[in-house]
């Protein structure tokens, strides 16, 4: 896993090439809404991208992380099916619903049943490189979400420059990224991480939570501002020093939200001495998000090393799949 995370910017470079070379057909359907369906490491890219394009895209995007699809899905819906393995059972069921409703279907996968169906029914699809760890391939699935939205005419092509610039920024700052990540990981030892960000970066917080869960084998939770200041902030009356707060911050966060962050810090500091502010680098939201993701991935790996656990191992998930496989 450490090797895979070290290849983050190389993967982004490769992902851009894959997207540029993808063979995609135009649709005659009038798309009025979009659903991105996927789970875990295959699904989080959709949430992050949906937030990053919200100021540009003019149709609603719904993120679907389960079996089935919302009732509004129709022949005027673009359903983006994201499953790295191509065999995620929830995603396959959602894909079947999309087929039955006559939706426009586009797939992001490395193979499996999803690719088989995409080829059989001539759905637009982008094939990713094979790898045994979907969460280590977020770079690929996230990038292809942009390419699909661009292909269908919902966003422009500026994301390509943003990703290219993010690659340069991360490569230029990788030593400081690792240094900061290690400091945070050391602070998380024996504590429960609570991750906060501005609302538009919630997907990045979810990504870090997932990485801490799977790589470091620890529980964590997240919330976002300003919503957090309307509920969870009150819950800090029960705060303890066993909690460690990670706050993702941008100089471009809305000014009143930044003030809420400062006031929230004053409250939180009464209950725990462990809190970290991570400031982004980059010129736009895509660059900043990728910077946060890279730093968060390193936090999870360093914490795994500190806890002496194998970041690749997911025996409990394999057990779950095995038990589900016994169902008729």
Q: What is the pLDDT of residues 277-288, one digit of tens each?
A: 999 999 999 999
What gap in Å lies between CA 210 and CA 47, rounded to an integer? Answer: 13
The catalytic position among 214, 223, 281, 288 is 214
Question: Terminal CA-to-CA distance of the chain, rounded, Å?
Answer: 35
How far CA 266 is from CA of 1, 71, 199, 270, 305, in Å, comes to 37, 44, 20, 7, 32
> What is the third-level CATH fold of 173-307?
Rossmann fold (3.40.50)
- Nearest CA to 192 out of 124, 249, 239, 243 is that of 243
Respond yes or no: is residue 125 known to be catalytic. no
- Nearest CA to 4 out of 111, 36, 168, 14 is that of 14
Given a cut of 90, is residue 208 above it in pLDDT?
Answer: yes
Are 158 and 209 contacting, i.e. CB atoms less than 8 angstroms apart?
no
Burial 87-99 (b: 16+ CB within 10 A, else e): bbebbbebbebbe
For the chain, residues classed under CATH 3.40.50.10490 are 2-156, 173-307
Q: What is the pLDDT of residues 294-315, one digit of tens each?
A: 999 999 999 999 999 998 887 8
pTM of the prediction? 0.95
The catalytic position among 17, 121, 183, 230 is 230
The two tokens of residue 153 are 């005419």
Confidence band (pLDDT; 50, 70, 90) for 32? very high
Respond yes or no: is residue 321 known to be catalytic. yes
Report the pLDDT value the prediction gives residue 79, as an integer from 0 to 100: 98
Confidence band (pLDDT; 50, 70, 90) for 3? confident
- For the chain, what percent of residues have pLDDT higher than 90? 89
Higher pLDDT, 92 or 322: 92
Respond yes or no: is residue 319 known to be catalytic. no
Of 6-10, 133-137, 142-146, 211-215, give the lowest mean pLDDT range. Answer: 133-137
Report the pLDDT value the prediction gives residue 200, as an integer from 0 to 100: 96
The two tokens of residue 245 are 């707060």
What gap in Å lies between CA 292 and CA 1, rounded to an integer? Answer: 18
- Nearest CA to 164 out of 9, 279, 298 is that of 9
CATH architecture of 2-156: 3-Layer(aba) Sandwich (3.40)
Higher pLDDT, 228 or 318: 228
Report the pLDDT value the prediction gives residue 267, as an integer from 0 to 100: 97
């Amino acid at each position: 896993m450490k090797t895979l995370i070290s290849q983050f910017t190389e993967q982004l470079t490769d992902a851009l090439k894959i997207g540029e070379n993808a063979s995609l057909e135009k649709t005659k359907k009038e798309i009025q809404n979009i659903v991105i369906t996927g789970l875990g490491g295959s699904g989080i890219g959709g949430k992050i991208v949906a937030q990053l394009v919200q100021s540009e895209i003019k149709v609603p995007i719904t993120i679907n992380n389960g079996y089935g699809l919302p009732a509004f899905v129709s022949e005027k819906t673009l359903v983006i099916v994201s499953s790295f393995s191509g065999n995620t059972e929830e995603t396959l069921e959602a894909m079947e619903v999309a087929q039955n409703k006559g939706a426009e279907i586009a797939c992001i996968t490395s193979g499996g049943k999803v690719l088989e169906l995409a080829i059989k029914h001539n759905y637009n699809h982008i094939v990713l490189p094979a790898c045994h760890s979907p969460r280590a391939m977020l770079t690929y699935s996230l990038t292809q979400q942009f390419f699909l939205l661009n292909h269908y005419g919902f966003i422009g092509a500026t994301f390509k420059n943003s990703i290219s610039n993010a690659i340069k920024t991360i490569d230029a700052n990788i030593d400081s990224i690792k240094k900061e990540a290690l400091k945070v990981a050391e602070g998380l030892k024996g504590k429960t991480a609570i991750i906060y960000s501005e609302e538009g970066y919630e997907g990045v917080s979810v990504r870090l939570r997932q990485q801490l869960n799977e790589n470091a084998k620890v529980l964590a939770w997240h919330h976002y501002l300003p919503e957090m200041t309307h509920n969870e902030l009150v819950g800090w009356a029960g705060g303890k020093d066993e909690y460690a707060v990670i706050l993702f911050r941008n100089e471009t966060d809305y000014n009143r939200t930044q003030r809420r962050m400062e006031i929230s810090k004053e409250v939180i500091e009464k209950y725990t001495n462990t809190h970290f502010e991570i400031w982004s680098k980059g010129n736009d939201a895509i660059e900043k998000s990728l910077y946060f993701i890279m730093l968060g991935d390193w936090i999870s790996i360093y914490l795994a090393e500190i806890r002496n656990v194998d970041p690749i191992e997911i025996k409990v998930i394999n057990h779950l799949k095995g038990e589900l496989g016994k169902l008729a």
